[in-house]
Structure 1
Amino acid sequence: MTAAVLAALAWDTESTGVPGVPGRCTVAGSSLTLTTEEASSAATIAAVGRARGLPDRAVVLALATAQQESRLRNLDYGDRDSLGLFQQRPSQGWGTEAQVQDPVYAAGIFYDRLVRVPGWETGRLTDVAQAVQRSGFPEAYQQWEPMATELTAVLGSPEPSRLDCRYEPTGAVSPVDVSAVAAAELGVAAMPRAGGAIFVDPAAGWPAATWAVAQAGRLQVAGIEFAGRRWSPDTGWVDAPAVGADAVVIRPTS
């Protein structure tokens, strides 16, 4: 596994968290920010864990590990043959190069190995992460526990989304492709309807809406609607009393 890169922290503890900056995501009530790439990676990791029915502790462990290994970036390089969000090594049985650079696969196999670690649910974070990763820097994971804990709470909250991401649209993504990504990561039905909007099973609730905001730049999302709130890359979240809670609606850029 790769060593910690102490500069260029992905979790910016010095930012004022001012919303509306393209390429940045902010959290209401917090000064912490992420890039849209980091937010997308974190949301995928969290969604894969939730879809497997794993507790928040599993997500905290995964996010802290990915933060240490890659700064929540899907890297195409690393120490020796390490690749991807978790810097997993194909030569050590983690999968093919293509697989470990697929965030859904990478998160999934991390969780597969995590739940085989005795006492993982209650063990010290850095000890559990090290049991999975076998890094040359076994104590490095612990520093990210506060960040990972807060981010897990934000991404999994049943309350209206606190995450606001802004990006500059660069093109359209097929609604069919967006619905396929949503279904694969959230583990629920996500169906394109007339007009190109994707309707996500309302049982997924606010975590799905937060996931969609985090993926907005990656999937070129033009709008999200759920339970009296509406999001766009221009305005962020605003009140929309007429918006119902019968589905999380994702509208790709057309």
Structure 2
Amino acid sequence: MGVVKRAAAVVVPLALVVGGVWYGVSRHGSSDDKTLGQCTTKVGRLTVVLTDEQARNASLISAIAIRRGMPAHAATIGLATALQESKLYNLRGGDRDSLGLFQQRHSQGWGTPQQILDPVYATNAFYDALTKVPNWTTLPVTEAAQEVQRSGYPSAYAVYEGDARALASALTGYSPAAFWCHLPKPGAAAPPAIRRAAGLRDSLAPAFGAVEVRVGSGSRLELPTSSTARGWAVASYLVAHAAQLGISSVVYRDRGWSAESNRGWQHASDSASADSVVIG
């Protein structure tokens, strides 16, 4: 196994594969399309680059932890486990009857194959098991993951702990503006704002529970948030799912993200209200 690259301030044109997950330094200011479909997390000196599919699953794992009222440590454990077990892909096979994000087994009582292949079900099943582990909130990530998974390679989770911490910090909102994706701009015309708002509520419900979505001036959609951390968590989730939700831009507080840009969150001239995430 290699070591995850911890990027310095100087951009180095180097990519690294660790355990099958592609990591690299984000190409800020690049004029080519090599970063299209990539999602970047940058916390401190650590940069983690995922595909958009991996990022969608990572944001779901983090959001469900928030919905359940669990600390960021739970999201870190869940992410480290999924990185090791499936590289954050919803696999339709694995060792023996293992399936899904966490490679859960029908024969071991994790649910039906159809349930295990549902990322929402699988993530909740993982957290259900985690909460039954004594003192899980104070256990090291790799020990807590092993208590749930009973893997034949218990030390493997440690390989991904640093990446999982960075992802959890960004996707639960504790590291503001630390997660972004570079995606093609949605090509289809947006549906009417009221219908779009209803679709967005339905899409967010499995991850965050009931979410209020308002139609604001200019038919923009506004999502009130109860705290700054939750606001950034919701904003990051929307960015991760932007291609599926037809989202071209997200603004929160004084930062804005645009799907077509590979520069991450930039200072927004038209700032959103302090307590709402605004979608374009």
Give the TM-score band, short-chain normalised. Answer: 0.7 to 0.9
% identical aligned pairs:
40
Deviation at 1:116, TM superposition (A): 0.3
1:9 to 12, 20, 24: 20
Cα deviations by residue, 1:90-118 (Å, 9 ceiling, x for unpaired): 22221222221222211111011001011
- Relative to structure 1, is the Cα distance of residues 138 and 158 closer, same or farther in structure 2, using a 3 angstrom cutoff? closer
Q: Give the equivalent residue in structure 2 for 1:245.
A: 274
Q: What does residue 10 of structure 2 align with?
A: none
Cα deviation, residue 79, structure 1: 1.6
Provide closer, same or farther for how the CA distance between residues 60 and 11 of structure 1 changes in structure 2, counting only shifts above 3 A. farther
CA distance in 2, matches of 1:183, 1:246: 19
Asked if structure 2 preserves the Cα contact closer than 8 Å seen for 1:81 and 1:90, the reply is: yes
1:58 corresponds to which of 74, 77, 86: 74
1:64-213 mapped onto 2 (5 Å cutoff): 64-158=80-174, 160-168=176-184, 169=186, 175=196, 176-191=198-213, 193=215, 197-203=220-226, 204-213=230-239
- Alignment match of 2:36 (pick from 12, 19, 22): 22
8 Å Cα contact 1:157/1:206 also seen in 2:
yes
**Structure 2: distance between partners of 1:82 and 1:142:** 21
Farther-moved stretch of structure 1 (168-177 vs 158-167) = 168-177
Q: Any unmatched runs of 5+ in structure 2?
A: 1-16
Is the 1:226–1:248 Cα contact (8 Å) retained in structure 2?
Answer: yes
Alignment TM-score, normalising by the size of structure 1:
0.85
RMSD over aligned Cα, in angstroms? 2.4
Q: TM-score, normalised by structure 2?
A: 0.78
Q: In structure 2, what is the equivalent of residue 45 of structure 1?
A: 61
Q: Which amino acid is the alignment partner of residue 180 of structure 1?
A: D
State whether residues 180 and 190 of structure 1, in contact with CA within 8 Å, keep that contact through their aligned partners in structure 2: no
Partners of 2:86 and 2:55 in 1: CA distance? 13
Question: Shift in Å at residue 80 of structure 1?
Answer: 1.9
For residue 207 of structure 1, report the CA deviation from its aligned partner.
Answer: 1.4
Partner amino acid for 1:245? Answer: A
- Deviation string 1:171-191 (CA, Å, 9 cap, x unpaired) is 578723332121321234232
1:151-173 Cα offsets, whole Å, 9 max, x none, are: 11111234531212012246578
Aligned-partner Cα distance in 2 for 1:181–1:191? 11
Aligned-partner residue type, residue 20 of structure 2: L
Q: Distance in 2 between matches of 1:11 and 1:149?
A: 17
- Measured after TM superposition, the shift of residue 23 of structure 1 is 0.7
For residue 70 of structure 1, report the CA deviation from its aligned partner: 0.4
The alignment partner of 1:80 has SS state of coil
Higher deviation after alignment, 59-68 or 231-240: 231-240
Q: Aligned pair 1:214/2:228, yes or no?
A: no
Aligned residue for 1:34, secondary structure, equals strand
Aligned counterparts of 1:242 and 1:105: Cα–Cα separation in 2: 38
- Extract unaligned runs of 5+ from structure 1: 1-5
Distance, in Å, in 2 between the alignment partners of 1:59 and 1:189 is: 20
* 16 and 159 in structure 1: CA distance in 2 versus 1, 3 angstrom threshold: closer
Alpha-carbon separation, structure 1, partners of 2:144 and 2:176:
32
For 1:97 and 1:197, locate their aligned partners in 2 and report how far apart those are by CA, in whole Å. 40
- Aligned residue pairs, count: 244
Greater Cα radius of gyration, structure 1 or 2? 2
Distance 1:220 1:197 in 2: 13
The residue number in structure 1 matching 2:260 is 234
Deviation digits for residues 42-99 of structure 1 (CA, Å, limit 9, x no counterpart):
1110010011111111111110000000001111121222111111112222122222
Q: Report if aligned partners of 1:17, 1:27 keep a CA contact under 8 Å in 2.
A: no
The farther-off stretch of 163-172 and 111-120 is 163-172
Q: Are the equivalent residues in 2 in contact too, given 1:188–1:200 (CA < 8 A)?
A: no
